[in-house]
Amino acid sequence: MMICKPFFGKEVSESTEMSYTPVIAIFATTALASISLTWGFSSTLFSVQTIIWFVALSMIVLAIQKLQDLESFTNQFLGYDLLARKVVRYAYVYPFAEAFVGIAMLADVAWLSVVASVVAIFIGGINGLSVFKAVYIDKRELKCACVGGNSNVPLGFVSLTENIMMVGMGIYMLIRFSSIL
């Protein structure tokens, strides 16, 4: 932990330790919201719809975190995302695509879900491969841009799991709505 004296000579601590706290807070809140929605709509605590709402709400909240400071997110994202390193504009589009997928999942409209599933598989797949390469192949210790730029969340298993959930939900939506194809 670093100590600075920026205001009137008073010590202010600035944490440089990595922590999963922001991700845990988001996932716990979206899980409870999903359970609440399931209970309110079907009088049960858990169903497949609970998982859909959990992934959708998580994606929306994570997108909001990124969109709060798009420049900081982009700078941190460029540190590991393979496509963003080649096409920088993709880093700016990613949070909007993530929000679109989450919102489309909530809408539960067949044609929109098919489009969203393709987007989810694309962005989740690329980012999942990027995280896997950076962390498990290159053995780099990076901060994850998953909760926005300038976060102290470590890039690793949790980030990879988020992307696997996104790809999995994309595949599920494609299968579920394959009759319109």
When pLDDT is averaged across residues 8-33 and rounded to a whole number, the result is 83
Please give the model's pTM, rounded to 2 decimal places: 0.89
The answer for 3, left when phi > 0, alpha when psi is -120 to 50, beta otherwise, is beta
141 three-class SS = coil
- Count the alpha carbons within 13 Å of 116 in the hemisphere toward its beta carbon: 28
- Average pLDDT in the chain: 92
Decide if pLDDT at 131 tops 90. Answer: yes
pLDDT for the residue 6: 56
Nearest to 166 by CA among 35, 59, 37, 48: 59
Q: What is the pLDDT of residues 72-117, one digit of tens each?
A: 999 999 999 999 999 999 999 999 999 999 999 999 899 999 999 9
What does the domain layout of the chain look like in residue ranges? 18-180
Phi, psi for 97 (deg, rounded to 5):
-65, -40
pLDDT for the residue 3: 53
pLDDT for the residue 8: 61
Reported confidence tier of residue 17, pLDDT bands at 50, 70, 90:
confident
User: C-alpha angle 177/169/58, rounded to 5°?
Assistant: 125
When pLDDT is averaged across residues 52-76 and rounded to a whole number, the result is 97
More confident residue, 159 or 12: 159
End-to-end CA distance of the chain: 55
Q: What is the pLDDT of residues 167-180, one digit of tens each?
A: 999 999 999 988 77
Decide if pLDDT at 4 tops 70. Answer: no
When pLDDT is averaged across residues 5-11 and rounded to a whole number, the result is 59
CA distances to 19, 90, 179 from 150, in Å: 12, 19, 43
| Percent of the chain predicted with pLDDT > 70 | 91
90 three-class SS = helix
Nearest to 127 by CA among 89, 177, 85: 85
